[in-house]
Structures are given as structure tokens and as C-alpha cells.
Amino acid sequence: MDKTVKILVLNNAVEASLIDGLLNEREIPHVIRSYHDSAYDGMFQLQYGWGQLDAPEQFRDEIINIFENMSPAD
């Protein structure tokens, strides 16, 4: 995979799972990282969101479009 950059901040595990499935279907390379750290009992998730989605820069617009148009029914 090419160098990745932060594309989105994800709010929860459901949102992460939905976008992961949609990007996998479209074969868009990406990495989802949770901000959870058990040593701090999830404190970073309260401050910064559930986690983030990283991907190569050239996929930014496509990923944002998919994210903005996704729904739980997808």
C-alpha cells in the first residue's frame, strides 16, 4: 500500500465497520485504527473520537463521498 494519510475521524465501531465493508467491496486500500488504549481506559476515544481511517491520498475524495452517503442499510 502507498503511504497513507488520515482521511476521516470515526465516531464509533459501527461507523468503522460500515465504511470498512464499503471500501473493501470497492477494493480501496485503507487502514482503520482505534484510539482505544486499555492503559488509559479509553480516555483518548472520549477526546478524539473512536478512531481514524487512513488511506492513500489519491482515494480521499472517493472515501469522503462514500462516507457521507453511507447509511446503516448499506
Q: Whole-model pTM?
A: 0.79
Q: What CATH architecture applies to the domain 4-69?
A: 2-Layer Sandwich (3.30)
pLDDT of residue 74: 45
Instruction: With a cut of 60, say whether residue 40 has pLDDT above it.
Output: no
Distance of CA 20 to the CA centre of its chain: 7
Rounded CA gap, 29 and 42, in Å? 27
Confidence of residue 43 (pLDDT cuts 50, 70, 90): low
Confidence of residue 70 (pLDDT cuts 50, 70, 90): confident
**pLDDT tens per residue across span 8-35:** 999 999 999 999 999 999 999 999 998 7
